[in-house]
A and B are shown apart, each in its own frame.
Chain A
Amino acid sequence: MATPDRRQWGVWQWLDERIGLADLAKLARKKEVPVHRHSIWYYLGGMTLFLLMVQVTTGILLLLYYRPSAEEAYESVQFLMAEVQFGWLIRSIHSWAANLMIFTLFVHLFSVWLLKAYRPPRELTWLSGMGLLGLALGFGFTGYLLPWNELAYFATKVGTEITGAVPVVGSFLGRLLRGGDEVTGATLTRFYGIHVAILPALTVFLLGLHLFLVQRHGMSVPPNVEGHQAARRVMPFVPNFLLRDLVGWLSALAILAALAAYYPAELGQKADPFASAPVGIKPEWYFMFMFKTLKYLPASILGIEGEIVGVIGFGLGGLFLLLVPFLDRRTARGEPSHLFTMIGIMVIVYMIVLTYLGYTEVATQ
């Protein structure tokens, strides 16, 4: 709270003269959050951001003990879990927060979609958000392999094989990703580099852009609310909204701690590239709907291999998702767009149903 006497405070003044704290404070005071019946969705982005901070912190801590090679990865994680004090906690939180973060990310994405927050001038915010989704999925995919256990090994094998179905560049992409023709120690080292250097760097860039745009445009008010409400109610971001954010973050942290204490991350068996695949290998839950779709596709569709059709389909789906702000002309013109609401709901239902099927169906290879 900017009380008047703060201005006379030595450190504040010293910093203010050098980096212009007063300007920042003015900026913060000016930022407002609209209040209406859909305001709750404004918390999702911040929640995702908080979980990313948790990931960065715990990830950096994990780096102190982790060793990225096929010979030592599993052993180092085992050591971390058994010998390092609170190692189980750090690793379990990293693994749980990763899942929660992807979850909140999806909720964030679909709430933005259904509230049509992507309409002009926020197309770039949407695009950078989609980029962040890709990065998060990349984090999840590469991180899953790092403990070098049996389950992760075979899930990665299947996962990278799917890239082979991409037309033309597929096999090259597969090789690029695996660092060779097979999932080996080379893949592990590669995934490690992607996981802890490449993706974080890209994330800093895209997240900066995302937040900058959010700050620049302010929060969008859903079109169906905009029309109805005569007097536009708002709430200052600092401190009112921020304090509410904090409540959410702390609750998430408490949930994370409980999950870590009751369901610590498991390690399982060390990966053995020469063993046969165990039954019921599963990808991470957020890849399940794609995994399941590919399984349901017939071996051949119109003379093309089913898997290739599926991969192309997901590619086009991703492209569609990316271009939603540009395809939805009605919303851009300020008219209600039921079509895109329907599509959004259908995508959500599709993902939920296939994920459900993926987990309930008996595992047969």
Chain B
Amino acid sequence: MTEQVLARDASRRKFINWFLATSAGAFFLSVLYPIARYLIPPQAGESTAASVTLPIKLADVKPNSGQIFKFGNRPAILIRTPAGELRAFSAVCTHLNCTVQYRSDLTHIWCACHNGHFDLNGQNIAGPPPRPLDQYVVNVRGEQIVISKGA
């Protein structure tokens, strides 16, 4: 073997080692990157499908008022009865799925689409809705309001 061949071999080996090390490094990064992102807690701290903490403070919910909130990807309604009690229902009207609202003048829940009325227990009392609204469980943790699907 001549000197030349030896030198070529050496530089070749060096290149292969460099290439191997670089691609191995890139490989580890490409594995670690998704794992690192996976470990970062997502914005919504936990699944909102079964329970949700409302972005509303207890003090801001006045008696005889209601507000819509997002429960999963469906609307739900939190109402505070004139007597001060908190209740939550699915806000999806049982007639044609419009979003219901609270009418403080009527002191009950109302659907604007076809004038459906629901009482403070979610029972359909007038208009076309055929079934009551699904009720959810309201829990108050300090100032926080937590809504969950019933057991």
Q: Which A residues contact B (CB, under 8 angstroms)?
A: 61, 64, 67, 71-72, 74-76, 78-79, 83-87, 89-90, 250
Name the residue on A nearest B47 (C-beta): A79
- Which of B27, B35, B50 lies in contact with A75, CB distance below 8 A? B50
Name the residue on A nearest B41 (C-beta): A84
Asked if residues B34 and A64 are in contact (CB atoms below 8 Å), the reply is no
Kindly state the separation between the CA atoms of A76 and B43 in the bound complex, as whole angstroms. 15
Q: Describe A's contact surface by its main secondary structure.
A: helix
B window 75-107: CB within 8 A of A: none
Asked if residues A83 and B42 are in contact (CB atoms below 8 Å), the reply is yes
| A185 CB, nearest partner CB in chain B, Å | 11
Asked if residues B50 and A72 are in contact (CB atoms below 8 Å), the reply is yes
Q: Is B6 an interface residue (CB 8 A)?
A: no
Asked if residues A64 and B39 are in contact (CB atoms below 8 Å), the reply is yes
Asked if residues A85 and B46 are in contact (CB atoms below 8 Å), the reply is no
Kindly state the separation between the CA atoms of A288 and B49 in the bound complex, as whole angstroms. 33
Asked if residues A87 and B49 are in contact (CB atoms below 8 Å), the reply is no
Contacts of B5 in A (CB 8 A): none
Asked if residues A79 and B46 are in contact (CB atoms below 8 Å), the reply is yes
Asked if residues A86 and B50 are in contact (CB atoms below 8 Å), the reply is no
Kindly state the separation between the CA atoms of A71 and B151 in the bound complex, as whole angstroms. 8
Q: A83-B42, A84-B42, A85-B42 are in contact. Are A78 and B37 (CB under 8 A)?
A: no
| A167 CB, nearest partner CB in chain B, Å | 39
Kindly state the separation between the CA atoms of A84 and B35 in the bound complex, as whole angstroms. 11
- 10 nearest A-B pairs in the assembled complex, by CB-CB distance: A79-B47, A75-B49, A86-B34, A85-B37, A83-B42, A75-B47, A86-B38, A75-B50, A84-B42, A86-B37
Q: Is B7 an interface residue (CB 8 A)?
A: no
28 A–B contacts from the bound complex (CB under 8 Å)? A61-B35, A61-B38, A71-B50, A71-B151, A74-B49, A75-B47, A75-B49, A75-B50, A76-B47, A78-B47, A79-B42, A79-B44, A79-B46, A79-B47, A79-B49, A83-B42, A83-B43, A84-B42, A85-B37, A85-B40, A85-B42, A86-B35, A86-B37, A86-B38, A89-B38, A90-B34, A90-B35, A250-B27
Residue from A64, A79, A90 with most neighbouring chain B CB atoms (10 Å)? A79
Kindly state the separation between the CA atoms of A74 and B37 in the bound complex, as whole angstroms. 22
Contacts of B40 in A (CB 8 A): 85
| B89 CB, nearest partner CB in chain A, Å | 20
Per-residue CB proximity of B16-58 to A under 8 Å, as 1/0? 0000000000010000001101111011101111100000000
Contacts of A86 in B (CB 8 A): 34-35, 37-38
Kindly state the separation between the CA atoms of A241 and B35 in the bound complex, as whole angstroms. 29
- Which of A72, A76, A78, A90 lies in contact with B38, CB distance below 8 A? A90
- Which of B27, B44, B50 lies in contact with A83, CB distance below 8 A? B44
Contacts of A79 in B (CB 8 A): 42, 44, 46-49
Kindly state the separation between the CA atoms of A125 and B34 in the bound complex, as whole angstroms. 37
Kindly state the separation between the CA atoms of A250 and B28 in the bound complex, as whole angstroms. 12
Asked if residues B50 and A89 are in contact (CB atoms below 8 Å), the reply is no
Kindly state the separation between the CA atoms of A78 and B50 in the bound complex, as whole angstroms. 11
Kindly state the separation between the CA atoms of A84 and B45 in the bound complex, as whole angstroms. 10
Name the residue on A nearest B34 (C-beta): A86
Contacts of B34 in A (CB 8 A): 85-86, 89-90
Contacts of A89 in B (CB 8 A): 34, 38
| B150 CB, nearest partner CB in chain A, Å | 11
Query: 19 new A-B pairs (CB below 8 Å) besides A72-B47, A86-B37, A86-B38?
Result: A61-B35, A61-B38, A64-B39, A71-B151, A75-B49, A76-B47, A78-B49, A79-B44, A79-B46, A79-B47, A79-B49, A83-B43, A84-B38, A85-B38, A85-B42, A86-B34, A87-B38, A89-B34, A90-B34
Contacts of A78 in B (CB 8 A): 47, 49
| A352 CB, nearest partner CB in chain B, Å | 34
B window 103-137: CB within 8 A of A: none
| A47 CB, nearest partner CB in chain B, Å | 18
